[in-house]
Amino acid sequence: MRILIVNVNTSEAITEAIARQAQAVAAPGSEIIGLTPYFGAESVEGNFESYLAAIAVMDRVLAYDGPYDAVIQAGYGEHGREGLQELLNVPVVDITDAAASTAMYLGHAYSVVTTLDRTVPLIEDRLKLSGLYDRCASVRASGMAVLELEAEPERALEAIVRQAELAVSEDKAEVICLGCGGMAGLDEKIRQRTGVPVVDGVSAAVKMAESLVQLGLSTSKTRTYAKPRPKRVIGWPAQFGR
Amino acid sequence: MRILIVNVNTSEAITEAIARQAQAVAAPGSEIIGLTPYFGAESVEGNFESYLAAIAVMDRVLAYDGPYDAVIQAGYGEHGREGLQELLNVPVVDITDAAASTAMYLGHAYSVVTTLDRTVPLIEDRLKLSGLYDRCASVRASGMAVLELEAEPERALEAIVRQAELAVSEDKAEVICLGCGGMAGLDEKIRQRTGVPVVDGVSAAVKMAESLVQLGLSTSKTRTYAKPRPKRVIGWPAQFGR
Amino acid sequence: MRILIVNVNTSEAITEAIARQAQAVAAPGSEIIGLTPYFGAESVEGNFESYLAAIAVMDRVLAYDGPYDAVIQAGYGEHGREGLQELLNVPVVDITDAAASTAMYLGHAYSVVTTLDRTVPLIEDRLKLSGLYDRCASVRASGMAVLELEAEPERALEAIVRQAELAVSEDKAEVICLGCGGMAGLDEKIRQRTGVPVVDGVSAAVKMAESLVQLGLSTSKTRTYAKPRPKRVIGWPAQFGR
Amino acid sequence: MRILIVNVNTSEAITEAIARQAQAVAAPGSEIIGLTPYFGAESVEGNFESYLAAIAVMDRVLAYDGPYDAVIQAGYGEHGREGLQELLNVPVVDITDAAASTAMYLGHAYSVVTTLDRTVPLIEDRLKLSGLYDRCASVRASGMAVLELEAEPERALEAIVRQAELAVSEDKAEVICLGCGGMAGLDEKIRQRTGVPVVDGVSAAVKMAESLVQLGLSTSKTRTYAKPRPKRVIGWPAQFGR
Amino acid sequence: MRILIVNVNTSEAITEAIARQAQAVAAPGSEIIGLTPYFGAESVEGNFESYLAAIAVMDRVLAYDGPYDAVIQAGYGEHGREGLQELLNVPVVDITDAAASTAMYLGHAYSVVTTLDRTVPLIEDRLKLSGLYDRCASVRASGMAVLELEAEPERALEAIVRQAELAVSEDKAEVICLGCGGMAGLDEKIRQRTGVPVVDGVSAAVKMAESLVQLGLSTSKTRTYAKPRPKRVIGWPAQFGR
Amino acid sequence: MRILIVNVNTSEAITEAIARQAQAVAAPGSEIIGLTPYFGAESVEGNFESYLAAIAVMDRVLAYDGPYDAVIQAGYGEHGREGLQELLNVPVVDITDAAASTAMYLGHAYSVVTTLDRTVPLIEDRLKLSGLYDRCASVRASGMAVLELEAEPERALEAIVRQAELAVSEDKAEVICLGCGGMAGLDEKIRQRTGVPVVDGVSAAVKMAESLVQLGLSTSKTRTYAKPRPKRVIGWPAQFGR
């Protein structure tokens, strides 16, 4: 089985980290292909960048010319998943959803710890639209930007741990979701520090994608995610930025 | 005051119809500028097309090189409004929101009558995110595609009236919102046929945009709609399709 | 166009302040008529007083013997708007709704800063019934009574600013609504102090009323706001207190 | 123990019917006093009439010059209960709430069958504000006006039974609430016809009022229902209509 | 009238305290029978123990061989009430529901103060399922285990008062519900300390049970609480632990 | 990896069917152990039977004396999952949750088709508590009892297909969940007949359990699902029925 995992950021370093984490948890027969969009923001932290990433992710997946069995969109709280679901016949898994739906098996309520405060409303909104918000105790910002996660790993870890601890003590979270594709790999450290299960969305998404493929399930083509109707579309397939 | 009204479809005919309707209800001093995106689908009827339109609308507004006081996004249930709010300092009004928030002054519950069934979930989701869904009795599809509205005006009117009547009798709507930018101008006919107030989103958006400008109010730059942080963005400003 | 703006309090000073603010933002052709109820509490701060004001406002509007195009009920979180909508054919705008629905165009969440703590549940309940509560971050009390707003403007301003700041920092509001007709005119000062847009309900209501009139829209007479059925009503038209 | 039960309509016949039903279910030591407001509509069927009744009920209770232990407001879906709670120290029970909170002990979901369609939104809104709406399967209108209930008892019974049956079969109600004070006494007949428990709000309210008195419980005077602050109130105590 | 009140704990001391409190508020003709389950945990403080109690309570009631008119399940936030409703023809009242539905007549919002933090989610979930959560300001834990309530009454009182005070000042509760059958009898002391009405679930349940019996109302046998279908059931009637 | 899958019914035939289906979708290294409770109803179709099953399932799992890595509770809409989560350290997956959370990856809304109408409220309530109800379009009953599914497979298939078709056309479901452990194996046939993805809860639960084990994730022991506190428990471990 081949799974495409698409970064929403144009940072190659993040793509590599995500793909590495994905491969680490993948089943023996699963091949992970990390993809970086051809255009968009180096790091996605807001609505404009997220909308641009939405299109860039669709563009990048369509440009991939081999066969594949599932697609993972590796951005936390980003736009675009519904578009991929329309365009593709294989299952599509967003790491925001995967982390949340996995966390709900582990505790009565979960919190998300993400990067900047400005991304909190995006994550909350995506969880609401996905129908996975009811058991969300809080979405908290560590104050670390996406690119700082890699540049200052020590400080990032402390900032994330601190918010995770507050989520447990103040918001009554029983599980923590790592709210950024770039946090992949921190789960074990944060679990040790907080004592609660920590869910990394990339890992959760890989298992969910594998499960769907193994069960022979894919996106319903009735109504919402039906194929786009044939029509004149200017500028697509995009060579935006190419 | 100059208000840009941006079509989400690349159909010039729809842009003209929208701008004409907008100008018809504009205050004496208001100049309406209709804009057509440089790329995207001729008619937007689903998530992929809507995401592409989101970026195309932002691109088109940024490419406009004169001064302006407000921007209207003239698509019903489409993505992208939050991105515009980040990028711009002037107020941004989406016709979906404008129709709903206006309708709520007129009756206890409102319904939306839109084009194809597949767009219903998009409209519902946008209204939920905008916090304007509580008094929504239903979103109903007429079965008419966007481009059929113009091609077959008689049949479109009948199909819309029929769903509006069902919204009133079955769903207990007391107001009808016209759920497509391309329906601008049908409001009076539908009101006569159904006996309830009919809100055209384009018209409502013009008055809301004018009001915000006159009150000196614009998008809060605290948190969600703060300017994007300076960073490397590949392929933007876009010349997608140009 | 003539717009009646009815104070819910029997304080003439507040009526004058409200009418002054309303006229200040009105369009060139709009004439604002401030009305004070013939009976009721000098300042309305609770359910009994609010119910009495509901009837007093209806009574006062019906007693007005000239023509008019719209009515604004200038009380925050007060009862009665639905009664006016039944009795009248012209559009009715409540300043609670107008502030909230305007604020929702400006940020992801809004807070209301009002007078006494006891009025908070009234405002929350009215916003819930109006379907405008989903994006309400909080309703906060300044602790200043209605009549203290005028008597001690300096202290009132400080108390309101303090709660507005907490709404932004603690409750994540991105917009502030001034939760009392008697706060009209403070918006600019509070905006300067908090850095977020501030919506005055009186001003917002004037623009909304003008917009509805210009669009030819008024209350739906289907179902909820149909004219009262003809029947024997004792003591009405009221000369309560006259 | 003496319980005042206040009709919201000015029809003496309805007051008598209500008081008779209340006395029939009252405990041995409970004395029921039926009160008719001094002003207001003969029958209350809409917002204007309901707001007028709200004040008329408060006025009537305050005019009662003997001692009493509890007050019941006998109107379904009417305004005003919160005002009484502020003004009085004894417990206040609204029949809308009493029927609903009693029904919730009897089945997984309940429906209300009321008079005219226009009163349905009022009932729904009151149940929402009272926090008793979650288990409401539906509010259905029989199409019979309040005064027709007495004038045409046979036709009324059939119309109510028909809606009750639909509530059970279509809306999955397991209990029916009689949604009008004037329906008191029909419960047994409707139970026989539908096979589900039927709750009469007047009866339920009497038992709830007795229970609160026996438990020594009354309205909290903290915050929402604190006594009105001392202030100048014109036209009150009202001699509206006297 | 004979009312069975079933403890969920196997502690006889708690059964006695509950029955004593129940008898104290019962009407003259009401006989209270306290029952202790034959098996289960000495004190119920979590899901496993609560599920075991659910079955033990049903078992104990079925083993009672005299006639009775109503059954009260005296556990706060425990499982099982729906099972009793299926098995019995007489009304069933859970003290969690009784406290909440009574509290809602007394203030705009209520809080529950319970024992251990781990029981908070159980109580919240039961209130949600019962449709009584909307006006719940908070469920707070005193940190006192069930058996400590009796062993250390002074310390328990202080801990409960402290959380009740926080519920009023922080969460805006206007009424306090005592969230444990074992707290029966503390209501008056806590009322004096906090100044708000305090509802004891056992007392509230007795009055509600009496009311339902007096009104001739019992569980609907349509749909959810219909008698179990005849079928082979191994190990039931249970002699678990006997 | 060894996964225990526990039937909620005491029918051995159903246990075998469930285990067969589970093994069919299990990963190569996964060993499935089907367990039948020692006591309880032959088929579980209501609250009493479901509560008895809750305890019987916990009893049966604790009686299993080998090692295992995860437990699946194979009952749709049944009580008890939270108890297992407290008692065990390995992950616990309920098929109700597994079907729903899997379905949410496949379409905008899902419906459940179950057995008897009386079980519908149980399923709805469990989905609400699990936080997976938001995207539930409906829960529909086929009218077939659990044991009829095996006795009359042809008729059962037709009844389920009919409700699935109505769920798609009337309720706008885009995915169907099979709402009974005993329906395992029907998914492909129903998919062919309805054209939408069909999720079997048993299969979905197996993949979810495998995923959690592979990710090293298990139930949070903070707060809700902490181990029961040490205390005297009569009649446990149970030999109910043995």
| Of F107, F208, F218, Cβ closest to residue A225 | F107
φ/ψ of D172, rounded to 5, equals 70, 30
pLDDT (mean) for F199-226: 98
Residue A19: pLDDT band with limits 50, 70, 90: very high
Give the number of domains in chain C. 2
> Based on the domain organization, do C68 and C11 belong to the same domain?
yes
Residue D227 has pLDDT above 80, yes or no: yes
**Chain E contact set for C120 (CB, 8 A):** 172
Q: Do B51 and A118 touch (CB under 8 A)?
A: no
The angle, 0 to 180 degrees and rounded to 10, between the axes of the packed helices D120-129 and C120-130 is 140
Give the residue ranges of DSSP H helices in B26-94: 47-63, 81-87
Q: What's residue D133's pLDDT?
A: 98
The angle, 0 to 180 degrees and rounded to 10, between the axes of the packed helices D95-103 and D201-214 is 90
Locate the DSSP E strands across F19-121: 31-35, 40-41, 70-74, 92-94, 110-114
In whole numbers, what is the pLDDT of chain C averaged over residues?
Answer: 96
Whether the full predicted model's pTM is greater than 0.95, yes or no, is yes
pLDDT (mean) for C174-189: 90
Exposure letters B42-59 (e unless 16+ CB within 10 A, then b): bbbbbbbbbbbbbbbbbb
A51 falls within a domain: yes
> Based on the domain organization, do B118 and B186 belong to the same domain?
yes
> Based on the domain organization, do C90 and C65 belong to the same domain?
yes
Q: What is the least distance, in Å, from the CA of E122 to any CA of chain A?
A: 10
> Based on the domain organization, do F133 and F160 belong to the same domain?
yes
CA distance D58 to D4: 12
Residue of A78, A87, A90 whose CA lies nearest to B49: A87
F222 falls within a domain: no
Among residues of chain F, what percentage have pLDDT more than 70? 98
Question: Could you report the per-residue pLDDT of C100-143, keeping only the tens digit for each?
Answer: 999 999 999 999 999 999 999 999 999 999 999 999 999 999 99
Q: Are F176 and F199 a contacting pair, CB within 8 Å? A: yes
- Comparing B73-82, E77-86, F229-238, the range with the smallest average pLDDT is F229-238
- CB of F46 within 8 Å of a chain D CB? The answer is no
> Based on the domain organization, do D116 and D88 belong to the same domain?
no
Q: What's residue E12's pLDDT?
A: 96
Q: What's residue F242's pLDDT?
A: 52
Judge residue B242's burial from the number of C-beta atoms within 10 Å of its C-beta, 0-12 exposed, 13-18 middle, 19 or more buried.
exposed
Q: What is the least distance, in Å, from the CA of D113 to any CA of chain F?
A: 22
Q: Are C194 and C168 a contacting pair, CB within 8 Å? A: yes
Residue F181 has pLDDT above 90, yes or no: no
Q: What's residue A88's pLDDT?
A: 98
CA distance E168 to E191: 12
Residue B240: pLDDT band with limits 50, 70, 90: low
Pick the residue of F171, F172, F174, F175 with the most B CBs within 10 A to test the interface with B by mutation.
F172
> Based on the domain organization, do B137 and B87 belong to the same domain?
no
Q: What's residue F240's pLDDT?
A: 55
Question: Could you report the per-residue pLDDT of C150-161, keeping only the tens digit for each?
Answer: 899 999 999 999
Residue C182 has pLDDT above 90, yes or no: no
Q: Which amino acid is at C29?
A: G
* Integer CA distances (angstroms), F51 to C174, F41, F79, F80, F129, in order: 47, 10, 6, 7, 16
Which residues fall within 8 angstroms of residue A16, CB to CB, at 6 or more apart? A34
Question: Could you report the per-residue pLDDT of D162-215, keeping only the tens digit for each?
Answer: 999 999 999 999 999 999 888 878 999 999 999 999 999 999 999 999 999 999
CB atoms within 10 A of CB B185: 17
> Based on the domain organization, do D61 and D22 belong to the same domain?
yes
Q: What's residue E238's pLDDT?
A: 72
Interchain touch F–C (≥3 Cβ pairs closer than 8 Å) = no
Q: What is the least distance, in Å, from the CA of F11 to any CA of chain A?
A: 26
> Based on the domain organization, do C24 and C56 belong to the same domain?
yes
Q: What's residue E8's pLDDT?
A: 97
Residue B191 has pLDDT above 60, yes or no: yes
Q: What is the least distance, in Å, from the CA of C102 to any CA of chain A?
A: 19
CA distance A83 to C118: 48
> Based on the domain organization, do D87 and D111 belong to the same domain?
no
> Which CATH number covers residue D37?
3.40.50.12500
Pick the residue of B108, B168, B175 with the most D CBs within 10 A to test the interface with D by mutation.
B108
CB atoms within 10 A of CB E152: 14
- Note which residues in 105-134 of chain E have CB less than 8 A from chain D: 105-108, 130-134
D17 falls within a domain: yes
B116 falls within a domain: yes
Write down which chains contact chain D via at least 3 CB pairs under 8 A.
B, C, E, F
| Of A42, A82, A233, Cβ closest to residue B41 | A233
Residue A181: pLDDT band with limits 50, 70, 90: confident
| Of D87, D224, D241, Cβ closest to residue C121 | D224
Residue F184 has pLDDT above 80, yes or no: no
D237 falls within a domain: no
E229 falls within a domain: no
User: Taken in order A56, A58, A62, A66, is the CA torsion positive or negative?
Assistant: positive
CB atoms within 10 A of CB F151: 10
A1: Cα within 13 Å, side-chain hemisphere: 23
E226 falls within a domain: no
As a whole number of angstroms, the longest Cα–Cα distance in chain C is: 55
Q: What is the least distance, in Å, from the CA of B241 to any CA of chain A?
A: 4
> Based on the domain organization, do B102 and B187 belong to the same domain?
yes
In whole numbers, what is the pLDDT of chain F averaged over residues?
Answer: 96
pLDDT (mean) for D50-79: 97
Give the DSSP per-residue string, F123-145. HHHHHHHHT--TTEEEEEE-S--
Range of the domain at D17: 2-94+203-215
Q: What's residue E239's pLDDT?
A: 58
Q: What tokens appear for D103 in the block?
A: 């029904």
E221 falls within a domain: no
Q: What's residue A238's pLDDT?
A: 72
Q: How many CB pairs under 8 A join C and D?
A: 157
- The residue that leads in pLDDT, B131 or C186, is B131
* Integer CA distances (angstroms), F172 to A90, A132, A133, B125, F143, in order: 22, 19, 21, 15, 21
pLDDT (mean) for A136-163: 95
Q: Do C233 and D43 touch (CB under 8 A)?
A: no
> Based on the domain organization, do E102 and E152 belong to the same domain?
yes
Question: Could you report the per-residue pLDDT of E102-131, keeping only the tens digit for each?
Answer: 999 999 999 999 999 999 999 999 999 999
Q: What's residue A240's pLDDT?
A: 55
Q: Do F118 and E226 touch (CB under 8 A)?
A: yes
Residue B156: pLDDT band with limits 50, 70, 90: very high
> Based on the domain organization, do D90 and D103 belong to the same domain?
no
CA distance B6 to B9: 9
